[in-house]
Amino acid sequence: MTPLAERMRPSDLTDLVGQGHLTRENSILQKAIESGRVPSMILWGPPGVGKTTIAHIIAASVKAPFYELSAISSGVKDIREILDMAKKQTGAILFIDEIHRFNKSQQDALLGAVEKGTITLIGATTENPSFEVNAALLSRCQVYNLKPLDNNDLKSLLELSIQKDPWLSQQNIELKETEALIRISGGDGRKLLNLLELTVQNLLAQGQNDSKDKVASKIQVTDAAVLQVAHQKVALYDKKGEQHYDIISAFIKSMRGSDPNAAVYWLARMIEGGEDVKFIARRLVIFASEDIGNANPNALLLANSTFDGVHKIGYPESRIILSQCVTYLASCPKSNASYLAIGQAQRLVQQTGDLPVPLHLRNAPTKLMKSMGYGKDYQYAHDYEGNFAGQEYLPQDIAGTKFYDPGPTPRENELRKYLKEKWQDKYKY
């Protein structure tokens, strides 16, 4: 029997689950299909999110000759054979799966045909095309980014399959639990449907062995039934529930307590539980500033780079980047001095309101402002020895108030020494 994922492959964009930013009414792809002028394109996204399906839908919608190659098993000879056939046709579409696996010479073989319009190229890739597709070919293609299917998309796909698939619709199926199906699939619709089909087949086989009568009973798809088929244990937890908050709390406190072993364990729990990679990365950026701060300014740089990296890459490779950052942050000296400073400053602002900016610190872009004393007597720090003027920079009512008190770490002791030398007894560092 044809796999469920193939049986459920939609033939129209309106039936595609997910990717609404590309396929909904008046979207860029919908307009291109309606106009009959489909550009060469690279579909970039994780496995099982609709790249192949979109290529087939486009070809069927515009009624174009359709050729398909896999970069794993095809070479320049295969490409040239298709190009020779395409020259005798109008508007032929060539779909190349995993185009990032083509080397430079294989990609170059496509250039002339794409530029002349001999074929419309649709390439599918799970890798960033900026790095994996050569610049000449990339400049001739539009790049469309496909997103992992979210939980609502996956649930819709499950329900549609049970209702519309010719075989599943004949079974008496109840989706009692979906957490395991969703977590194991990881946003991959193909993996989701294949696992659903295997689970139902296994439950049917068990029912035939256990039942002594022919009466059809309801097939209940549960997390336990899915895990039995998947042969793996999955950390199932509600990302919006109590366990979510307990685990992130344990994660942060482990890093704050300088225990990289516990921190990486709680990181693994979140990854295995399907936690949003960007949520974890955001917490690392906050932690680097709140709990490490100027004890090691590089912590914030690494955390910010981590956020940028995981945003581009996603799972599963992001786990490596996250682990590097987490173990580094946990191993850093800790200081919350910056965090305490802004908290104290905000409380004083709330108590004292909008105190006037001292005249010597005000900007004076007009003659009138200058005549009113704006900017008068301001001392430009770089004009003084050591680039330090020692002027008052706070409003008069709170002059001399100290908010920032460097911690006892080696780096902050250097800051304390500098500030004490410059300000002497004014701020009592």
Q: Count CB neighbours of 279 within 10 A.
A: 12
- Residue 288 pLDDT exceeds 90: yes
| Domain match, 195 and 279 both | no
pLDDT digits (tens, 9 = 90+) for 290-326: 999 999 999 999 999 999 999 888 888 899 999 999 9
| Domain match, 106 and 157 both | no
pTM beyond 0.75: no
| Domain match, 117 and 187 both | no
Which tokens hold the place of 128?
Answer: 């960033």
| Domain match, 218 and 302 both | no
CA pair distance 49, 55, nearest whole angstrom: 12
pLDDT band at 214 (very low <50, low <70, confident <90, very high): very low
Share of the chain above pLDDT 90, in %: 32
| Domain match, 46 and 131 both | yes
| Domain match, 196 and 258 both | no
| Domain match, 34 and 139 both | yes
| Domain match, 40 and 132 both | yes
Per-residue 3-state assignment (H helix, E strand, C coil) for 374-408? CCCCCCCHHHCHHHCCCCCCCCHHHCCCCCCCCCC
CA pair distance 206, 224, nearest whole angstrom: 14
Is 374 among the domain residues? no
Is 206 among the domain residues? yes
Last residue of a domain, one of 268, 299, 331: 331
Last residue of a domain, one of 307, 331, 355: 331
| Domain match, 205 and 253 both | no
CATH assignment of the domain containing 266: 1.20.272.10
pLDDT of residue 263: 93
CA pair distance 171, 249, nearest whole angstrom: 44
Determine contact, residues 189/17, Cβ cutoff 8 Å. yes
| Domain match, 116 and 177 both | no
pLDDT of residue 210: 56
Is 355 among the domain residues? no
CATH assignment of the domain containing 73: 3.40.50.300
pLDDT digits (tens, 9 = 90+) for 338-353: 999 999 999 999 998 8
Is 393 among the domain residues? no
pLDDT digits (tens, 9 = 90+) for 221-266: 998 889 888 865 555 555 555 567 888 889 999 999 999 999 999 9
Is 1 among the domain residues? no
Domain that holds residue 55: 19-145
Work out how many domains the chain is built from and give that number: 3
pLDDT digits (tens, 9 = 90+) for 321-380: 999 999 999 999 999 999 999 999 999 999 988 888 888 888 888 888 888 888 888 988
Last residue of a domain, one of 113, 145, 177: 145
Which tokens hold the place of 405?
Answer: 């008190």
| Nearest one of 102, 94, 86, 95 to 52, comparing CA atoms | 95
CATH assignment of the domain containing 184: 1.10.8
pLDDT digits (tens, 9 = 90+) for 58-78: 988 888 899 999 888 888 888
Is 370 among the domain residues? no
pLDDT digits (tens, 9 = 90+) for 140-160: 898 998 988 888 999 999 999
Is 423 among the domain residues? no
pLDDT digits (tens, 9 = 90+) for 373-412: 888 889 889 988 889 888 888 898 898 899 999 999 998 9
Is 224 among the domain residues? yes
pLDDT digits (tens, 9 = 90+) for 107-123: 888 888 888 888 999 99
- Residue 413 pLDDT exceeds 80: yes
| Domain match, 196 and 212 both | yes
| Domain match, 25 and 137 both | yes
